[in-house]
Amino acid sequence: LTERFSGIVEKLKRVKRLDEKTVEEALKDIRRALIEADVNIEVIKSFLDDLKQKLVGQEVIKGLNAGETVIKLIYDEVLNILGEEAPLQRSEKPPTVIMLVGLQGTGKTTTAGKLAKWLKSKGYKVGLVSTDVRRPAAGKQLCTLAKTIDVPCFIDEEEKDAVRLTEKVIQKAKEAGLSHIILDTAGRLHIDQELMDELVHIKEKVNPSEILYVADAMQGQDAISTAEEFHNRVGLTGVILTKLDGDAKGGIALSVRKVIGVPIKFIGVGEKIEDFQQFHPDRIAQRILGLGDIQTLLEKMQTAIDEKKAEEMAKRVMNAEFTLDDLKQQLQMIRNLGPLENVLKMIPGLGSKIKDLKVDEKQFIRIEAIINSMTPEERANPHIINGSRKRRIARGSGTTIMDVNRVLKQYKEMKKMMKKMKKSGKMKLPFNMPN
Ligand code: GDP
Ligand code: MG
């Protein structure tokens, strides 16, 4: 696991149940990790309080140790706060208007271009509009971007009133038959009353489907109070986090979600127009916690589940109850382990013998398909599978009657072998490799 949490895993090595003291100890490390990731202090506090309640008294997850359990539960909690992936809202009556708001320099104009390109790639007809009447350069910057992605750009250098300008250009955009219009609004260095009023007026005039707050992930703690102000005044429907390509750990994502509660929709990961992605909570959660290795944990849990299944199956095998359904499950388990050659090489004594063996995985898939095409009754009582049933199964699975016969024969032999094993009391690999 990552260094940040290796301490927790080490400390809790032998813990079986998470008591209050153990949890508090572990949470200290978590607090440090969250501070490093730039999560807002207030947010950390309430997050840890909630977390403590959830953790105390928890059983250790099967397949993980106590430390790993703690990390898994924290990860789940972060995911929970970050929320689901949320699609962009669309207006029933086109065009859908998307307003980008935020302070100066957070990346609004760049993001307008990125979002336009993203929507265009989905087949939409997008137009860009600058409502910044104060700085003509702002409109130019936007239209230069628009040119590179080949979408229309609407500005009006004569109009000095942002609200009237917006109305005018939206009318033009409608006439152009656009499905989406992205409004790049003016920013300021700090929150100011005039700007907020302007945004509220624009909102009232154009009734946007989305008002997305563009937040600079490098900004740290400040971004949260600013976002709150924007939300209180203008009413945000979502957030786009920019500059996540730098050192920013993404803690702002957690803060923003916890404080404002609106979904994060996209992230910007570079200056180039294609450096733009839909928001994936799991990726950000891993980044905030510095868990490159959460995947390993999830896989370990999965293995524990598979082991339990294998145990159950072994029991069935020993009792010679082995059905065609069991066979199918066993094949799936083997395939889940990865390329068969590698799996077989790991079996002691077998590795050297199969050096040049090329396992035909297609054959496994074919067997599964054949079993899938059988009715539950046929799987439980293979002896009822007569000629016409075989024909139906072959047709259903895209194989031949010969293939069906072969699977039935192999299954019979396996079952016989298992009966013998049961008598002799010796357990061997229950599954014969097809060849
Ligand atoms: P605006 O004032 O909000 O419109 O901000 P701009 O779009 O003009 O961007 C300000 C600066 O941030 C520019 O130098 C952009 O290239 C840069 N920028 C925007 N988004 C990103 C991003 O996702 N990653 C990085 N590294 N830089 C970005
Ligand atoms: Mg701008």
Question: Which CATH code of 3.20.20.80, 3.40.50.1000, 3.40.50.300, 3.40.50.360 fits the domain covering 96-279?
Answer: 3.40.50.300
Query: CB neighbours of 349 closer than 8 A, spacing ≥ 6?
Result: none
Least confident of 33-47, 192-206, 253-267: 33-47
- Indicate the domain borders of the chain: 3-84, 96-279, 319-424
* Average pLDDT for 404-427: 76
DSSP secondary structure code for residue 431 in this structure = -
Q: Is the CB of 268 under 6 A from ligand 1?
A: yes
Q: What is the number of other CB atoms lying within 10 angstroms of the CB of residue 244?
A: 24
Q: Is the CB of 177 under 6 A from ligand 1?
A: no
Annotated binding site for GTP: 102-109, 184-188, 242-245
The pLDDT, as a whole number, for residue 332 is 73
Q: Is the CB of 114 under 6 A from ligand 1?
A: no
Q: Which of 48, 46, 76 is nearest to 61 (CA)?
A: 76
* Average pLDDT for 5-10: 72
pLDDT tens-digit map of 77-89 = 999 999 988 999 9
Compute the mean pLDDT over every residue in the chain, rounded to the nearest whole number. Answer: 84
Residues with CB under 5 A from ligand 2 (ion): 108-109
Q: Which residue has the tokens 């350069």?
A: 137
Rounded to the nearest angstrom, the distance between the alpha carbon of 245 and the centre of ligand 1 is 11
Contact of 131 with 216, CB cutoff 8 Å: no
Q: Is the CB of 65 under 6 A from ligand 1?
A: no
Nearest ligand to the C-alpha of residue 248?
Answer: 1
Residue, of 104 and 421, whose pLDDT is higher: 104
Contact of 220 with 252, CB cutoff 8 Å: yes
DSSP 52-99: HHHHTTPBPPTTS-HHHHHHHHHHHHHHHHH----PPP--SSSPEEEE
Structure-block tokens of residue 115 = 């979002």
Q: Is the CB of 187 under 6 A from ligand 1?
A: yes
pTM exceeding the 0.80 threshold for the entire prediction: no
Say yes or no to pLDDT of 269 above 80.
yes
Q: Does domain 319-424 have CATH number 2.40.50.140?
A: no
The pLDDT, as a whole number, for residue 350 is 45
Q: What gap in Å lies between CA 422 and CA 427, rounded to an integer?
A: 8
Out of 101, 271, 274, 277, give the residue to mutate to test ligand 1, the one with the largest number of ligand atoms within 8 Å of its CB.
271
Q: Any idea of the CA torsion for 232, 237, 243, 249, to the nearest 10 degrees?
A: 80
Q: Is the ipTM of this complex over 0.95?
A: yes
Q: Which residue has the tokens 């970050």?
A: 82
* Average pLDDT for 144-170: 91
pLDDT tens-digit map of 316-332 = 666 667 788 888 877 77
Residue nearest to atom 5 of ligand 1 (CA): 107
**Residue 45 — pLDDT band, cuts 50, 70, 90?**
very high
DSSP secondary structure code for residue 17 in this structure = B
Q: What gap in Å lies between CA 391 and CA 394, rounded to an integer?
A: 5
* Average pLDDT for 163-171: 90
Peptide bond into 95 cis (omega under 30): yes
- Residues β-bridged to residue 326: none
Question: Which CATH code of 3.50.50.60, 3.40.109.10, 1.20.120.140, 3.40.50.10330 fits the domain covering 3-84?
Answer: 1.20.120.140
pLDDT tens-digit map of 93-144 = 889 999 999 999 999 999 999 999 999 999 999 999 999 988 888 999 999 9
Q: Quick one: 104 exposed, middle or buried, by C-beta within 10 A (0-12, 13-18, 19+)?
A: middle
The pLDDT, as a whole number, for residue 339 is 55
The pLDDT, as a whole number, for residue 363 is 77
Q: Which helix (H) or strand (E) holds 351?
A: none
**Residue 230 — pLDDT band, cuts 50, 70, 90?**
very high
What values do phi and psi take at 17, rounded to 5?
-140, 140
The pLDDT, as a whole number, for residue 117 is 96
Q: Is the CB of 110 under 6 A from ligand 1?
A: yes
Contact of 269 with 278, CB cutoff 8 Å: no
Alpha helices in 152-277 (DSSP H): 162-175, 193-206, 222-234, 251-259
Rounded to the nearest angstrom, the distance between the alpha carbon of 388 and the centre of ligand 1 is 68
The minimum-distance atom of ligand 1 relative to the CA of 110 is 7
